[in-house]
Each structure stands twice: as structure tokens, then as C-alpha cells.
Structure 1
Amino acid sequence: MTERARQIIAAARTLLETEGPEALTMRRLADSIGITAPSLYKHFPDKASVLTALAGEVLRETAETLEAAESAAPGSFPALATAYRAYALAHPHLYLLTTARPMDPTALPPGLQERAAAPLFRAVDGDQERARAAWAFAHGMVVLELGGRFPPGADLSAAWSAGIAAFARSAPSEASRASG
């Protein structure tokens, strides 16, 4: 990525994080870095490619966040879920941009999605379906929290703790094995 492309992505991130997704237009982006909109197209063919580059940044940061949590508490799903939630809540527009729209995985740096998922996969002893379920729990909770969809007065910490406890167990319970 060229220095100008990095500058464009940094400006796009600033617009998105400070003003929300509606503010992220090619014209606003060009204005924010002092170039013309057609000049942006020398670096990114369209807005979708800017969004994909931003998504790559978010996935890289998510991977780093989860790797740091795993390093501090190896094999701990609670540590990963806490770090995941903290990152998402600190960067709500970026998080939603990355997780709430279709994305061409081939447009991302090779191996990035796998890198971001690896700490979770290791925390659930390599059980792919359990990892997917755990991610769905964390993602769903974050999206509901960001959207203000919990009832007034809901104890989100208790809800997170209950979900984390369900996935932090080392093996599925007898009841879940019998029903599966």
C-alpha cells in the first residue's frame, strides 16, 4: 500500500469513527485530505475498496487484540470475549462496518481472517462448531449492545458473564451431548 493510500485509509477511519458511516463519502474523504475526488480513484477504484481496506485494518487490530488477550491468559475464552467486546465498543462504526456487510475474503490480506479467529479456535480446543457458536454469541451480544436493543435496566455484565460461562466450559455438558 502506498503512503497516499495509507493516508486515505487513515482519513476514512477518522471520518467513520468521528461522524459515522453517513459521513464516509468519496467527496468528503477527498476533501478531508485536500485532494480531488477523482484523485482518490488513482488509489482506490471505488468506495467498496476503501471499505474493504478499512475492514482489513479492523481485522488486523482484532487479531492483535485477541492475541494479546490469549498471551495474557492462554486458553481463556473469558479473556478473549472481554477483549473482543472492549474492542468492538471502543470502535463501534468500524466494528459494524467489518461485520455487518458482505465482504470478499479474497480482497483481504491472505490469512488475516484465520489469524483473527485462531485465538478463539485454540480456546475451544479446536472445535470448529463450538468456535463458531462462541463467536456468534460474542458478535450477537456486541451488535445488540451497540444497537441499544437490550431492555432498559438490563444487566449486560450478567448476560455477558452467563454467555461466557457457557462457552468457557472445557467440554459440552451431558445434556447437550444427549440432545445432539
Structure 2
Amino acid sequence: MTCPEELDPTLLLTPRACQVVDAARTVLERQGWETLTMRTLADELGIAAPSLYKHFSSKDALKTQLVALALKENGEALRPVTTVSRLVRRYRETATANPQLYRLSTSGPIDRAALPPGLEEWSGSPFFEATGDPHRGQALWASAHGMVILELDGRFPTGSAPESTWRELVRHFS
């Protein structure tokens, strides 16, 4: 299911701003957020760094756009909600396919006021739909998020997320 048009953050961007976001995403996945600078981004695009400020007022404004994009893509990937198993599998696949974008969108503070109103709620609502309860949905998301972070960081004792642990998570919430 695609993101509802009124929540789609990309519809508010010019074509050139979309190119900037795409390039930022490429640099983000290659280098991580902390090392992404407007200069490295400009180099990626083959333009002068000051030109970026025509499209984004700051690195934080660009971050907000990347977070909005991640929320949109995640919400789309999780739909339609059919089972807890499918939901958790798609969540894991989406997060591990774009680990730096995932980290950027799920850690640290975000400027909710700068996001399209309702996007964050829409993105996370599949967890409520799968469980039927807002607190149970948050618990499922928190568990899946924690497991994804452990997997991305190689923190499971085996060095990778044990499939039996993922199955137990699904069993618990199904």
C-alpha cells in the first residue's frame, strides 16, 4: 500500500531537492550520518556546497527529510498487515536493507513538527493493526527494533540474529 498522498513527504520537494535527498541517502548508507557533511554531499552531486542551501536550510532539515522518507518507506513495506510473522519479517528486511537510514530514523530526537502531520503514526500503525492494542503494538515494535539493532551491531552471541529468537518473538505476539 502506498503512502497516502497527503502524508507523502516527497510530494513537497522540487525535482532537484529529490536528487539531493537521493544523494544524501547514498552518502548516508556509505558513510553514516555523523560523517555526512554538506560538502561531501555536494561532492557527490558535483555541485558547490552552498548550492545545497537553496533546497535545505541546514543539515538538520535534510535529516528530517530523510527520516520522513524512512517512515514512508517503512509504512509502505509493512502493508498490508496480514500476520505478525509477515510484519516482523518485512520490518527486519526493510531495516537491514538500509541500516544507516534505519538508524537515523529510529534513534535520537526527531523534529516531529517538521514531519508531515500523521506520517509517523501512519508508519507505525501496522503494529497496532497486527496486535489490536496500542500498548501491545508498541511492545512488538520495541522488541523488533531492539532485535534489529542487535543484528545490525552484530551483538547476538552468534554474530547474527538467531532465527529461533525471531520465531519466538513472532510466537509471543501472535
Q: Contact 2:92–2:148 (CA<8 Å) still a contact in 1?
A: yes
Q: CA deviation at 1:137?
A: 0.3
CA distance in 2, matches of 1:14, 1:161: 32
1:155–1:57 distance in 2 versus 1, CA, 3 Å: closer
Residue type of the alignment partner of 1:95: Y
Question: Shift of residue 163 of structure 1?
Answer: 1.1
CA contact (8 A) 2:151 2:161 kept: no
Query: How many residue pairs get matched?
Result: 162
Instruction: Please show how residues 27-106 of structure 1 align to structure 2 within 5 Å.
Output: 27-68=39-80, 70=81, 74=82, 76-106=83-113
Structure 1 residue 111, shift from structure 2 partner: 1.4
Distance 1:117 1:153, change over 3 A: closer
Q: Secondary structure at the residue paired with 1:133?
A: helix
Residue-by-residue CA offset, 1:126-169 (whole Å, 9 max, x unaligned): x111011010000000001101111136761001111111111x
Give the 3-state SS of the residue equivalent to 1:42 in structure 2. Answer: coil
Distance 1:154 1:91 in 2: 17
The residue type paired with residue 121 of structure 1 is: F
- Deviation track 1:76-113 (CA, whole Å, cap 9, x = no partner) reads 11110010001111111110011012101111112111
1:55 Cα deviation after fit: 0.8
Q: Alignment RMSD, CA only?
A: 1.4
Partner of 2:10: none
- Alignment partner of 1:140 is 2:146: yes
Q: Which runs of 4+ in 1 moved over 4 A?
A: none
**1:16 to 1:117, Cα distance in 2 relative to 1, 3 A:** same
Structure number, greater radius of gyration: 1
Structure 1 position 112 matched with structure 2 position 119:
yes
Q: Relative CO higher for 1 or 2, CA cutoff 8 Å, sep ≥ 6? A: 2
SS at match of 1:43: coil
Structure 1 unaligned runs (5+)? 169-180
Show the counterpart of 1:176.
Answer: none
Matches of 1:154 and 1:18, distance apart in 2: 21
Unpaired segments of 5 or more residues in structure 2?
A: 1-12
1:17 to 26, 29, 35: 29
| TM-score normalised by L of structure 1 | 0.85
8 Å CA contact 2:150–2:161 kept in 1: the answer is no
